[in-house]
Structure 1
Amino acid sequence: MARPVTAKAGAFTVSLSNGATPAVFAAPCGFTSKSLALSKNLSEISIPDCDDPDAPDWLGRDVQSLSASVSGEGVLAASAIPAWLAAYESTDSIEVEVEIAFSAGVLKYLGRMHVESLTIGAERGQRCTIAVSMQSDGEMVGTWTATP
């Protein structure tokens, strides 16, 4: 059995655009965990069995919308504060790049997102922390580029 090609946590980056043209992306320091969630909003309709009206209906589902969210948490790094505050305080969405680098290729999602929430916390005897949640604003384009 062949082992799967996997990626280490450090190969998963969440980068914010500086807003310039062309955009320059940088990953704010501090995340110790992060995630990308892709979802669909579905509508449902019951589809009857025309040959047997007493049979249970099967549900048909159609896609109404697509959405993406990014969340991350970790230590509050002083160097990351300006980027996170600018992204949160902006009433416009910002460009975000999510990338996972494998030895076999790169999975990348690129699009605009709003910083939905930014939570800074502290617990006695520990370091200050940050938790960030972002929601897509329009299309997030996903690409897989295989390594030759």
Structure 2
Amino acid sequence: MAEATGIKGGRIKVMLGDDATPTVYAVPCGLTQRSLTFNKGLEEFQLPDCDDPDQVSWMGRDATSLSMSIGGETVIAEESIETWLDAVESEDSTPIKVVAEFPAKTITWTGKAHVESLEVTGINNRRATGTVSLQSDGKMTRVVS
């Protein structure tokens, strides 16, 4: 049996871009956990049995949309807090790049996303932490190299 080739969490990078031409992407300092969720919107319809219309119908589904959600946990770092605040306060979506670096290949998604939420938590005598949530805004282009 061949073992799976996995990667450590730090090999998944969530990068925010700026307004420069070309866009410059950087990983905000402090991310300790990140999650990627790929969503497909579906529309349901019944598939009737033409030979026996009284038969209970199976459900069919058509794909109607695709989206990507990104969640993360972070230490609230002085180096990146304003980057997160600027993105969440902006009415425009932010250029993003998500990179998953495997030993034999790299998968990169590039597009735009809204920073939907930034939650900051401060507990006495502990390091301030936070969570972030991003939602894709349009197509996320995937490239494997």
Unmatched runs of 5 consecutive residues or more in structure 2: none
Aligned to 1:111: 111
How many residues get paired?
Answer: 145
2:79 alignment partner, SS class:
helix
The one-letter code of the counterpart of 1:74 is T
Structure 1: distance between partners of 2:123 and 2:104: 40
Structure 2: distance between partners of 1:120 and 1:67: 25
Aligned: 1:140 with 2:113: no
Q: CA deviation at 1:108?
A: 1.2
Aligned to 2:42: 42
Structure 2: distance between partners of 1:56 and 1:29: 55
**Higher strand fraction (1 or 2):** 1
**Residue correspondence of structure 1 range 94-105 to structure 2 within 5 A:** 94-105=94-105
The one-letter code of the counterpart of 1:114 is H
Structure 1: distance between partners of 2:36 and 2:134: 10
1:28 alignment partner, SS class:
coil
Structure 2: distance between partners of 1:69 and 1:117: 12
* TM-score, normalising length: structure 1: 0.93
Q: CA deviation at 1:18?
A: 1.6
Unmatched runs of 5 consecutive residues or more in structure 1: none
The one-letter code of the counterpart of 1:133 is S
Aligned: 1:3 with 2:25: no
1:79 alignment partner, SS class:
coil
Structure 2: distance between partners of 1:56 and 1:124: 59
Q: Deviations over 1:41-81 (max 9, x none)?
A: 11110011111223221111111111111110121111011
1:133 alignment partner, SS class:
strand
Aligned to 2:54: 54
The one-letter code of the counterpart of 2:48 is P
- What is the aligned-residue RMSD (CA, Å)? 1.0
State, as a whole percentage, how many aligned pairs show the same letter: 45
The one-letter code of the counterpart of 1:47 is L
Which aligned runs of 4 or more in structure 1 are off by greater than 4 angstroms? none
